[in-house]
Amino acid sequence: MQVAIVFDSKTGTTKAAAEAMGGLVRKAGHECTVSSVQDADPATVSAADAICVGSWVMGLFFLFQKATPATTDFIDRLGNLDGKPIAVFCTYKTAVGGMLSKMAARLEGRGAKVTGSFRSRGPVAAEGFAAWVESLG
């Protein structure tokens, strides 16, 4: 199975988390690409069998949490995701708020089946992500 992980990172924390997640995907025997939303090609990502989209949390401590504009712009450029399994993830310091559910809704609007939602406070694979990878078969 081909899995595409795309992310937006400001300080390197989200990039490191995405790379750790990519390592778990490869360890499970799948092919995996890990790319920033700035470098990834939306058509190539849309063609993957499963996709994981991540962002660092923008917001004011406990208010207005959201994905970065680069992340939401990338989601909007994806093709029809036709029921593909998708996971969303974020890295954060204080709070996540409704960010992940908003990312999921945006992807579902493109036809995705969001089957995973993960958060990480540091440059590591989010807890539960390995189980999501195993669910892919």
**Tokens 């990502």 — which residue?**
45
Q: Is the model more confident about 38 or about 61?
A: 38
For residue 57, what pLDDT is reported? Answer: 92
| Number of alpha carbons in the 13 Å side-chain half-sphere of residue 8 | 16
pLDDT bin (cut points 50, 70, 90) of residue 61 is low
pTM attached to this predicted model: 0.94
pLDDT bin (cut points 50, 70, 90) of residue 4 is very high
CA distances from 20 to 52, 64, 69, 86 (A): 13, 28, 23, 17
For residue 97, what pLDDT is reported? Answer: 83
For residue 63, what pLDDT is reported? Answer: 65
| Number of alpha carbons in the 13 Å side-chain half-sphere of residue 78 | 29
Residue 58: is its pLDDT beyond 90?
A: no
Domains of the chain: 2-135 (3.40.50.360)
